[in-house]
Amino acid sequence: MSVNKQNQSEIEKEAAAKTAVSFVRDNDIVGLGTGSTAKFAIEELAKLVNNGLKIIGVASSIKTEELAVSLGIPMQELGKTSHIDISIDGADEFSETLDLIKGGGGALFREKIVASLSKNRIIVTDSSKKVEKLGAFKVPIEVIPTAYQYVVNELEKLNGIVNLRYKEGKIFISDNNNYIVDVDFGLIDKPQKLSESLNQIDGLLAHGLFVSLTSKIIMAKDGQLFTFSKD
């Protein structure tokens, strides 16, 4: 990505994030996503908190929690949270049917729990993430290490090409002390069907297909905001 395109992408992410934050209300429990787009939302929320907005944040990753705490946002443990009023997160890909691929940062399990607990689930993104069909971005999958080879075998039966994720020359370890594999299924015609098949694999903790887990997508492009929703 060129410097100009990268700068434009950052500008778009920030614009979409600020719009999403405008839906947050006093006394809300707010799910905080992970990644570059969610970071803009967290920073904007922190400004509002410092100006008197009363919220409690719930983080989808250790990195997000550390950022939110450093900015003065009161936090609550995800495992002790029974409901979330609104969550704001990004996506690696999305379609107009509001299906997503998430997990590029490796936080897909906690992100999925946050989304599942949320009444209002908002995704913020720049225009580069919009696709007609999911699948150009490989599907991240979190795998319990002791089940690794079994899960790989099962994913290959689904015609997936599996790559174990590495970072800085070492196997990437998630916040939950598991592996992440990135799986190429090609373009995905039926995300719901694939999601259901993946859910049946023992040892697969979570996958990055988010189906029926989004209320609204706010996308910025060329200085304009576009909203996709099922309303």
State the catalytic residues.
111
**Residue 217 near residue 227, CB atoms below 8 Å:** yes
Cα distance between residue 92 and residue 153, in whole Å: 25
| 105 marked ligand binding residue | yes
Helix 62-70 and helix 36-50: axis angle, to 10°?
30
| 37 marked ligand binding residue | yes
| 125 marked ligand binding residue | no
| 184 marked ligand binding residue | no
Distance of CA 210 to the CA centre of its chain: 9
| 35 marked ligand binding residue | yes
CA distances for 179 relative to 11, 98, 149, 156, angstroms: 33, 27, 11, 17
| 119 marked ligand binding residue | no
| 91 marked ligand binding residue | yes
| Partner residues linked to 170 by β-bridges | 167
| 64 marked ligand binding residue | no
| 103 marked ligand binding residue | yes
**Residue 67 near residue 97, CB atoms below 8 Å:** no
| 90 marked ligand binding residue | yes
- Among 131, 127, 123, CA closest to 19: 123
**Residue 34 near residue 40, CB atoms below 8 Å:** no
Cα distance between residue 99 and residue 206, in whole Å: 16
For the annotated binding site for substrate, the residues are 34-37, 89-92, 102-105, 129
For the annotated binding site, the residues are 34-37, 89-92, 102-105, 129
